[in-house]
Amino acid sequence: MTTLYLERASAVHRLNPVTKLVALLAIIAIVFAVPQWWIPLGIVVLVVVPAAVLARVGGRLLRLFLILLLPLLVVLFIVQGFFFPDGTTVLWQWGPARLTVEGLVFSLTIGSRLSALVLGSLVFVLTTHPARLMTALTQAGMSSKIAYVISASLQIIPAFQERARSILLAQQARGLEIAGGPLRRARALLPLIAPLVLGMITDVDERSTAMEARAFGATPRPTSLTVVDDPLSERIGRWLLAAAAAAVIVLVVVGVIA
């Protein structure tokens, strides 16, 4: 598996990836700018979750939430809620653990920001194919070399895994016993890392020859086989999103939102 991307026919999937990226960045800017914990929570409930449902990736998002985020939130709530050093308004106490209002608010603030950030990013990744993102970004003016580095690093992971898998298989074929739990497997994999990296480096040399043979970098303005639609409505939408985020930040800075 290369990415988390899920192929679905939905309006969210069809959006220009740059629009989705701008929306994500706007959300991140807003939730970290405003001090109120209920605003990030509101964004999660009113924007992120509906978007996931509309894109028919809600189930996967929930699963990822349970695996990735929930444990983190629980730890955060316990540590900050019960052991917040500056907490004065004690609600409940048992030994050294004191549940304070300040600790609760702090963990809610951090937790809701974190949720908006992680869930928003997940919806983005779940609904955006990396190839389409790269194309859209290059179309929007990003350098093709930077696009190459990003795409290549996305693809190098599965290629790396594939290689590690085949070498491990070859080692077993030469008598290496790995059926002995994760520790044994890890011990078997450890000596693999150096040669794998070295192998990849030799590859880079050969690959750069192959890339240059195909005129990579010969022109700053390459054309593109795949074209990502970018209707006027989305371009306006992006500016509005950016303006909204900027406005919120200004309002926070000048003290209207406190």
Residues that bind another protein (CB under 8 A): 2, 129-131, 134, 144, 147-148, 151-152, 155-156, 158-159, 162-163, 166-167, 169-179, 191-192, 194-196, 198-199, 202-203, 206-219, 221-227
CB of 73 to another protein, least distance (A): 34
CB of 127 to another protein, least distance (A): 16
Which residue lies nearer to another protein by CB, 96 or 174? Answer: 174
Q: Can you list the pairs that 246-251 forms with residues at least 24 positions away whose Cβ atoms lie under 8 Å?
A: 248/29, 248/30, 248/33, 248/34, 249/29, 249/30, 249/33
Q: Beta-carbon neighbour count of residue 210 at 10 Å?
A: 10
CB of 222 to another protein, least distance (A): 4
Q: How far apart are CA 44 and CA 119, in angstroms?
A: 8
Based on its alpha-carbon atoms, the radius of gyration of the chain, rounded to whole angstroms, reads 24
Which residue lies nearer to another protein by CB, 71 or 217? Answer: 217
Which residue lies nearer to another protein by CB, 58 or 130? Answer: 130
Helix (H, G, I), strand (E, B) or coil at 160: helix
| Identity at 98, one-letter amino acid code | R
Which residue lies nearer to another protein by CB, 203 or 234? Answer: 203
Q: How far apart are CA 20 and CA 115, in angstroms?
A: 17
The first and second tokens of residue 208, run together, are 């750069």
CB of 10 to another protein, least distance (A): 20
